[in-house]
Amino acid sequence: MPDLQTYFRTEHMPTIWCAGCGHGIVLGAVLRAIDRLGLDKDRVAIVSGIGCASRAPGYLDFNTLHTTHGRALAFATGLKMARPELKVVAVVGDGDLAAIGGNHFIHAARRNIDIATVCFNNEIYGMTSGQYSPMTPTTKLATTAPYGNLERNFDLCELAKAAGATFVARGAAYYARTLSGLIEQAIKHKGFSLVEAVSQCPTYYGRRNKLGAGADMLEWQRTHAVTAEKATGLSREEMADRFIIGKLYEAEAPEYGEEYGKLIERLKGGR
């Protein structure tokens, strides 16, 4: 069992996360992945934006950046370009990544820059008290959708793949070991990687949609997550409120930082 204490700034504990929140489980999956990879803490940078998930770097004893709303990937891109030797991991919420940060997200994916992004997807804006996000499913209730969300939610993984990400996976807090394995692969992968981590927010999303406590929401994840293989045998109706977990896509493509380095060398050589 890894001693995760060594990765925390314990003087900043306890976390602000509510009882039953899934974010601690997802963060544990990130830390176990880093631990298994044997990465030096000083060679890892954790970058976040704003939101419940984005509080994570404040508790962690790595190089950390807690930035502005939606801009985690913009800061992470600058950091990776300036310090290419660092392993850069972005921890972001769904609202942060897919709404205000949406443009940074698709362009980081398009460049295939070597950043591992873990999206803590609780399907809502938690920190600002439960507004609907681009990941809130249609018909679900939110502070700003008291009669049900009219919008269609993104499939974040499909969006990442279409934009050019070269590693895409989805996991869930309930399946924490699988999730951690996917995050490990994402960190190891050369290029832009996304792991969507389905998490639970009992305080706002769960309470408003009468989904019960954190444990009930974890049970929902247990019964609604399916592998891609199992999904092929299910009808569209049967898949309606289920979600696929596992590695969804992997490809090789030139990585932006390396290409930039080659360009610099070429220019130095006068070519």
- Applying CB under 6 A, which residues contact ligand SF4? 17-18, 21, 23, 52, 122, 126-127, 201-204
Least CB distance to ligand SF4 at residue 202 (A): 5
**What DSSP designation does 131 have?**
B
Distance CA 142, CA 75 (A): 30
Least CB distance to ligand SF4 at residue 194 (A): 19
- Which CB atom, from 21 or from 225, has the smaller least distance to ligand SF4? 21
- Which CB atom, from 29 or from 201, has the smaller least distance to ligand SF4? 201
Q: Within 8-101, where are the H helices?
A: 23-37, 72-82, 94-95
Least CB distance to ligand SF4 at residue 34 (A): 22
- Which CB atom, from 70 or from 95, has the smaller least distance to ligand SF4? 95
Distance CA 18, CA 217 (A): 14
- Which CB atom, from 21 or from 106, has the smaller least distance to ligand SF4? 21
- Which CB atom, from 23 or from 32, has the smaller least distance to ligand SF4? 23
Give me the amino acid identity at 220.
Answer: W
In the sheet that holds 87-93, the strands lie side by side as 63-66, 44-48, 87-93, 115-121, 193-198, 167-172, 243-250, 225-227
Per the CB < 8 A criterion, the answer to whether 83 and 40 are in contact is no
Least CB distance to ligand SF4 at residue 127 (A): 6
156: helix, coil or strand? Answer: helix
Least CB distance to ligand SF4 at residue 201 (A): 3
